Structure 1
Amino acid sequence: MSSKDYDPRIVDLYDGQNPDGPDHEFYRRLAYKHRAQKILDLGCGTGILTVTLAKDNRQVTGLDPSSAMLNFASARAGSERIRWVHGDSRSIPDNGYDLMIMSGNVAQHIPEEQWQSTLEALRSAAAPNARLAFESRSPLARSWEQWAMEPKTISNTRQGVLEEWCTVADLGAGRILLRSYNNFRDAGELVVEEVTLNFRSRERIAADLKNAGFDVLNVFGDWDETPFDSSQRIMIFEAIAR
C-alpha cells in the first residue's frame, strides 16, 4: 500500500467525475438477486456506491487503502450504516460475506505481486456460495491508446478552474502507467497522480479465480449483462465461491 495519498481536492471532485450510474445499478441488482445480507466493498473509494448497498438491514463493510477517500466516505449521508476500514485485502475484517465487489478500477489497481493473494483473501472471507463481482477493461480494446489522444479539458469546479490531461506509458506485460495532470489554476498548483493499471485477459482472470477457489458464472461485456464476446471494452466478472 502506497504511503502517497490523494490530494483532498481531487477526492472532493471525484463523485462528479465518477457519478452513480449503470455500473452501480448492476452491483445493486446482484445484492437483491442473491439476497445478500453481508457485503464487502473492497476499494470503496468515496463510498458513493457503498452507502446505497446498506439497505434492508444489510451489514456492509467499505474497505480502502486511501485515508483521504475514507475520510470523505465517512462524512457522507448514510455513512453511519457502514463499517469503514482502512487497508487492503489483508485488512478484511472477519468473514462470512455473501457478496464481495470491486467496482471501478479496483481490480486493475491491484499490482501483480498482490493480485493472487487478494483473490485468495476474498475466498477466505467468503460465505458458502458467496458471489464475487468486479470489472476490468479488456486488453483487446487497448483503451490506453485512446486516453493518450484525449485533449486537455478545462472546467469550472467548486475547487476553481481545473485543467486536466493525461499521458500513458506502456510498461509491457499488460501494465500501463497512467499519469493524470490536474492544474488548479486559481491556486496555481499542478497535482500529478500516477497509477499503474494492470490489463489482464479474460482467460488469465478466469484461471486466477479458479486457482483462488472461485468458479466463473458469467462474464458480461456491458452493464445490461450482454455476454462478453471480445469486442467490448469491459469485462464484468461474476464468480461463486466453491
Structure 2
Amino acid sequence: MADEIFTHPRLAAIYDALEPDRSDLDAYLDLTRRLGARKVLDIGCGTGVFALLLAEEGVEVVGLDPAEALIEVARAKPGSDRVEWIRGDATALPPLRVELATMTANVAQAIAAPAAWRTTLSAAHRALRPGGHLVFETRVPSARAWERWNREDSYAVTAVPGVGAVESWVELIDIDGPLVTFRWTYVFAADGAVLTSDSTLRFRERDEVAADLAASGFAVQEVRDAPDRPGREFVFLARRPEQ
C-alpha cells in the first residue's frame, strides 16, 4: 500500500520525531506575516505543525489532509482546538474565504495525478477571497534530488520517546518520466517490526506549473528559491485576481 507513513497509525505517530527540523516552515510563516493573512487554508497539513504555528499567532486556520492517521496526531497536540481539521482531499472543503492557501514540503508533488492536481488548484482558487494568495514549493527537476535517495545517504537511527530506537532509510524504486517512486523502510528495535512506505512524487517544470496555475485562474506573482535550499526548489507565489 502506498504512503503507509501517512495512513499507518504506528508510522504516523513517529512522523514528527523522524522529521524534527521544520525550519523550512520559517519562510511560509514570514510570508503569512508579510501578507497580513488572518485566515489560512493549509492543504496537506499532515500532523499539523504549520497549522499550529499559525494558530499560536492568532491566525484562523483550516487544516486539510486525506490521511486520518495524521489528522488524529494533529488533533492530539496542544492547541489543536484552535484549528479546524478536515479529513479529505480538496473536494472535501466547505465554502471558504481565506486570504492565503499553502502547500508546504512535498504536498504539491505528492498530488501526482494530473486530474487531482487540477482539482486541487481549482479548489484552492475557490477557497481564496479575491486578491488572496496561494504559495507552495516543488523540487527543481534538474537538481535530480532522487540521486540522493539511497540507504547510504539516508540511514538513521532515531530515539523516539515512548517508542524506542527506530532505524530508517530510503531507496529509489522507479523513475517513469516525471514520476519518481521511492520506499522508506522503518525497523522498530522494541519488537523487530519492519514497516515500509512507498511514495510517488511528480517533478514538474517551472513553465508547466505556471501554465497549470494560469489554467486554474491564478496569476503568478513570483517564483523564488527556498531560502534553506537554494537552487533545489521552485517556490510559487500566485494570486487570485480581484476580478
* TM-score in terms of structure 2 length: 0.90
Once residues 2 and 153 of structure 1 are traced to their aligned partners in structure 2, the CA distance between those partners, rounded to angstroms, is 19
Task: State the AA in 2 paired with 1:54.
Answer: A
Once residues 176 and 225 of structure 1 are traced to their aligned partners in structure 2, the CA distance between those partners, rounded to angstroms, is 20
How far is 1:211 from its partner? 0.7
Q: How does 1:45-194 map to 2 (within 5 A)?
A: 45-55=46-56, 57-112=58-113, 113-148=115-150, 149-150=152-153, 152-158=155-161, 159-194=163-198
Q: 1:75 to 1:11 in 2, by over 3 A?
A: same
Task: State the AA in 2 paired with 1:86.
Answer: R
Q: 1:28 to 1:5 in 2, by over 3 A?
A: closer
Q: 1:162 to 1:95 in 2, by over 3 A?
A: same
Provide the residue aligned with 1:7 in structure 2: 8
Q: 1:23 to 1:154 in 2, by over 3 A?
A: closer
How far is 1:56 from its partner? 5.5
* TM-score in terms of structure 1 length: 0.90
Offset from partner CA, 1:6-59 (integer Å, 9 cap, x none): 322322222233235432121111221111121100100000110111255432
Once residues 4 and 11 of structure 1 are traced to their aligned partners in structure 2, the CA distance between those partners, rounded to angstroms, is 6
Question: Alpha carbon RMSD of aligned pairs, Å?
Answer: 2.2
Task: Report whether the alignment pairs 1:210 with 2:214.
Answer: yes
Once residues 56 and 164 of structure 2 are traced to their aligned partners in structure 1, the CA distance between those partners, rounded to angstroms, is 36
Gaps of at least 5 residues in structure 2 are none
Percent identity, aligned pairs only, is: 35
The answer to whether the 8 A contact 1:108-1:136 is kept is: yes
The answer to whether the 8 A contact 1:22-1:223 is kept is: no
Task: State the AA in 2 paired with 1:156.
Answer: A
Provide the residue aligned with 1:219 in structure 2: 223
Size of the aligned set, in residue pairs, is: 237
Once residues 235 and 65 of structure 1 are traced to their aligned partners in structure 2, the CA distance between those partners, rounded to angstroms, is 24
The answer to whether the 8 A contact 1:109-1:196 is kept is: yes
Once residues 106 and 133 of structure 2 are traced to their aligned partners in structure 1, the CA distance between those partners, rounded to angstroms, is 19
Once residues 58 and 104 of structure 2 are traced to their aligned partners in structure 1, the CA distance between those partners, rounded to angstroms, is 22
Once residues 54 and 136 of structure 2 are traced to their aligned partners in structure 1, the CA distance between those partners, rounded to angstroms, is 15
How far is 1:198 from its partner? 0.8
Provide the residue aligned with 2:202 in structure 1: 198
Q: 1:20 to 1:150 in 2, by over 3 A?
A: closer
Once residues 55 and 72 of structure 1 are traced to their aligned partners in structure 2, the CA distance between those partners, rounded to angstroms, is 18
Provide the residue aligned with 1:240 in structure 2: 239
Provide the residue aligned with 1:229 in structure 2: none
